[in-house]
Amino acid sequence: MTGFHTLLAKEVLRFWKVSVQTVAAPVLTALLYLVIFAQALEGRVQVYDGVRYVSFLVPGLVMMSVLQNAFANSSSSLTQSKITGNIVFILLAPISYLELFSAYVLASVARALVVAAGILATTVWFVEVPLRAPLWALAFGLLGAALAGALGLLAGVCSEKIDQLAAFQNFVILPLTMLSGVFYSIHSLPPAWQAVSHANPFFYMVDGFRYGFFGVSDFPPGASLAIVAASLLAISAVSLWLLKSGYKLRT
């Protein structure tokens, strides 16, 4: 067992110990969205041929929860550790910045997967959710979670207070995920808003993830995957560079 394994296990244990808040709550939130939107919009919103709106909604909500929870996990853990000061134990240990990055991001992915599994496990009983291309769904799920986890780490490093982190969460992550085509197919939008949606990296994750379920998407899934992978690499590179420099962690 190395420092990396311990840090990963500690991060997983941390969210698992408060799983009512970190797993059960987001599952419930997703279910509420599903019930309310399906009830209000079923039959009024045209999505893909032969796909009911409520079915269309499920993968979108799963992906939205994956992104939000992966982000929340790494960012809140790191910011809390910085505020309470216990980050010092990690900084004093023989753990490299690459190991620190990997442990936080993988723990985020773990929480995202648990939440995703929770949402799917509670919805498949009353909503028809096909899984036409599961490997695509898995690839988008993993890459999306890793990207949001890395982004959370970045925000955690930069935030000195909880309200700074909350601002990032509420004014960047929340709008970008809500407007990523979770609740509608972007083909139903006016052309200008379609163009704006294409500038939102989260759109490609939701769209690609949905392709894994229905085998149809607004954007070619291969191109989406390339965009998501490139975004992940870019954000990881910035995170790693910040961690290496010791920005706001080591003086």
Partner 1 sequence: MIAGLARADSGSVTVLGSDVALDYRRARRLLGVVPQELVFDPFFTVRETLRIQSGYFGIRGNDRWIDEVMHHLDLASKADVNMRALSGGMKRRVLVAQALVHKPPVIVLDEPTAGVDVELRQGLWQFVRRLNRDGHTIVLTTHYLEEAEQHCNRIALLKAGRVAALDTTKNLLKTISGLELVVRGRDGELSRIKLKDYAELEAALARLRDAGVEIHEIELQPPDLEEVFVRLTGNGRGPQS
**One-letter amino acid identity for 134?**
P
Q: CA torsion angle for 60, 61, 62, 65 (degrees, to 10)?
A: 120
- Provide, rounded to whole angstroms, the least separation between the CB of residue 224 and partner 1: 37
- Provide, rounded to whole angstroms, the least separation between the CB of residue 11 and partner 1: 10
- Provide, rounded to whole angstroms, the least separation between the CB of residue 88 and partner 1: 5
Q: Which is nearer to partner 1, 39 or 84 (CB)?
A: 84
Q: Which is nearer to partner 1, 111 or 210 (CB)?
A: 111
Q: Which is nearer to partner 1, 16 or 219 (CB)?
A: 16
- Provide, rounded to whole angstroms, the least separation between the CB of residue 157 and partner 1: 15
- Which stretches of the chain bind partner 1, using CB under 8 A? 1-3, 5-7, 9-10, 13-14, 17-18, 81, 84-86, 88-96, 246, 250-251
Q: From CA 106, how far away is CA 67, in angstroms rounded?
A: 13
CB 204 within 8 A of CB 228: yes
Q: From CA 149, how far away is CA 156, in angstroms rounded?
A: 10
Number of neighbours of residue 191 by Cβ within 10 angstroms: 7
**Which of 234, 235, 243, 238 lies closest to 101 in space, CA to CA?**
243
Q: Which is nearer to partner 1, 88 or 172 (CB)?
A: 88
Q: Which two tokens stand for residue 25?
A: 């709550």
- What backbone phi and psi angles, to 5 degrees, belong to 134? -60, -30
CB 124 within 8 A of CB 116: no
Q: Which is nearer to partner 1, 17 or 132 (CB)?
A: 17
- Provide, rounded to whole angstroms, the least separation between the CB of residue 70 and partner 1: 19
